Amino acid sequence: MRVHIDQDKCCGAGSCVLSAPDVFDQREEDGIVVLLNAEPPAELREAVQEAAAICPAAAISVEQPERV
Amino acid sequence: MTTAERIEAGPGTGPGESLPPLDLPAARTAGCPFDPAPGVERALREEPVTRATLWDGSSCWLVTRHQDVREVLGDPRFSADATRPGFPFLSAGGRELIATKPTLLRMDDPEHARLRRMLTADFMVKKMEAMRPEVQRLTDELLDRMTEGRTSADLVAEFALPLPSLVICLLLGVPYEDHEFFQERSSILLSLRSTREEVRAAQDELLEYLVRLAESKRQRPDDAIISRLISRGELNSSEVATMGRLLLIAGHETTANMTALSTLALLRNPDQLARLRDDPSLIKGAVEELLRYLTIVHNGLPRIATKDVRVGGVTIRAGEGVVCTLNTANRDEDTFPGAGGLDVGRDARRHVAFGFGVHQCLGQPLARVELQIALETLLRRLPGLRLDIPFEDVPFRHDMGIYGVHALPVAW
Ligand code: HEM
């Protein structure tokens, strides 16, 4: 799983930090999203997907690994 | 068109026109004060994108489904810029408020983003989580005072309203001694019944007060938001005052009403109250569920289409107004099975009680901390909490842009 963020779209609502605090954080100076881990382990998949789904600005996308 | 003329004309035949246009804001039924108005619930079931008539006789679209509401609010082709001709206002006061001094709430990017980003750091999750000890202290102090030597009180006046007011005053650097002044003004601004003149006067007084406050921070700077906005040098005192007004009103009326209405909803659902009391670790999820179930921004969010856009099978034309009802979206069975019931164990995180899109509530991390602490502490400290008047007599805020109760007499 690979996570992408778009800081230009981000509106700093912070829901991703609540859903997946090991993957997302907010920048000190302006509260905009930063990635702590672009390739989170599989056990965080659900939390990361939830974060992407609730992001109000569609600033998070998740790339799933090819199924084998 | 008047109601009589419309009934005469009958429903139209186009997509989204099979129901007669619904009057907005829609009236709730007295018996079910936690449920959305029957008119908007019917739209959700029968015609999720439908025509509506606003208080001033103008027409707009009503969008009711969870998916469609997210689409509209997340789509930059729908503008929040209230200076565009045809923008749908939900009350005369709302129109007056915007016409004179628009805030970032009713602007589009990039101007909206520029202003919002001056504030996002102040309300980010880390900062608000760090406020917990302070919010807990204020909560305990208010409850000490409310319960000392007494067994009953009005929960709104003594707890639900003062708590968020104290917190937002602290964050903004507004003296709490002035709370009666700004609470009265903000009630006028949020009342659906206020006239244009009343709104204008209240608005002027509040802005004048905040301009003076901002000016005083130039002389004596502090570490709070208003002072820091002034010292950034990007906004003049009047712009800072406009931003301060938005934060002051949004920062106390909303959380205050959520606190009181949540308490009442729990008292009316004793099984859910018992679950939460027995397992306080449920509190975070319970607050999300209460936000969903109660959706206090109950009249919906207004937008205007800048291009032709298809929503839920209906084409909304450029220039047409849209109202997205958050309360129907949060009762959409496709997203929340059993949506009509309060279930504190539900995963309600996809609710849209804070809106959606780039305008989604800036203060949500603060609101969450306040609600979690206020409700958890209230239930823990007052195990015998009960309503002190018949439920039928509870004064619900049908007349206000933000739903809740005007007063909540309780005993313990
Ligand atoms: C339970 C409490 C709250 C609820 C239900 C709530 C709800 C909302 C909603 C629905 C919006 C979106 C409006 C729109 O898109 O047209 C909004 C925006 C906003 N809220 Fe809240 N709010 C709450 C608490 C707070 C608090 C505590 C603050 C603190 C300062 C706050 C500040 C704001 C601001 C500044 C905006 C405008 C954001 C923008 O336009 O970018 N709110 N709120």
Rounded average pLDDT per 10-residue block, chain B, 412 residues: 44 75 86 92 95 94 98 98 93 77 92 96 96 98 97 97 96 95 89 87 94 95 96 94 94 95 98 96 98 96 98 96 98 97 97 98 98 98 97 93 96 98
What are the pocket residues of ligand 1 if the criterion is a CB atom closer than 6 Å to any ligand atom?
A: B 80, 104-105, 116, 246-247, 250-251, 254-255, 258, 296-297, 301, 353-355, 359, 361-363, 366-367
* Res B29: pLDDT: 79
* Res B119: pLDDT: 97
Q: The pTM is what? A: 0.95
* Res A67: pLDDT: 59
Q: Considering only CB atoms, which chain A residues are within 8 Å of B125?
A: 14, 17-18, 26
* Res B226: pLDDT: 97
User: How far apart are the CA of B55 and the centre of ligand 1, in A?
Assistant: 24
Measure the CA–CA gap between B364 and B258, rounded to whole angstroms.
12
Nearest to B54 by CA among B252, B299, B309, B293: B299
DSSP helix/strand/coil, B400: strand
CB contact set of B141 (below 8 Å; sequence gap of 6+): none
Q: Which H helix or E strand runs over B301?
A: strand B301-305
Record: contact A32-B117, CB cut-off 8 A: yes
Domain ranges for chain A, please list them. 2-63
Nearest to B170 by CA among B130, B117, B219: B130
Quick count: other Cβ atoms within 10 Å of Cβ B122? 21
Record: contact A58-B125, CB cut-off 8 A: no
Residue B116 CA: nearest ligand 1 atom is 41
Token duo for residue B16: 């989204």
> Whole domain around residue B217: which residue ranges?
3-411
Q: Is the separation of the CB atoms in B26 and B37 below 8 Å? A: yes
Q: Which CATH class is domain A2-63?
A: alpha beta
Measure the CA–CA gap between A46 and A31, rounded to whole angstroms.
24
CATH number (domain holding residue B205): 1.10.630.10
* Res B40: pLDDT: 95
Q: Considering only CB atoms, which chain A residues are within 8 Å of B357?
A: 56-57
Q: Are strands B59-63 and B321-324 parallel, antiparallel or unpaired?
A: parallel
Reported as half-sphere exposure (CB side, CA atoms, 13 A), residue B154 has a value of 10
Which has more confidence, A4 or A64?
A4
Q: What are phi and psi of B47, to 5 degrees?
A: -155, 85
User: How far apart are the CA of B338 and the centre of ligand 1, in A?
Assistant: 27
* Res B11: pLDDT: 53
pLDDT digits (tens, 9 = 90+) for A8-47: 999 999 999 999 999 999 999 999 999 999 999 999 999 9
Record: contact B355-A56, CB cut-off 8 A: yes
* Res B379: pLDDT: 97
Measure the CA–CA gap between B356 and B14, rounded to whole angstroms.
28
Beta strands in chain A (DSSP E): 2-5, 24-26, 33-35, 60-63
Which has more confidence, B306 or A65?
B306
Measure the CA–CA gap between B310 and A33, rounded to whole angstroms.
31
User: In total, how many domains does chain B have?
Assistant: 1
* Res B43: pLDDT: 95
Measure the CA–CA gap between B21 and B43, rounded to whole angstroms.
10
* Res B1: pLDDT: 43
Measure the CA–CA gap between A51 and B194, rounded to whole angstroms.
40
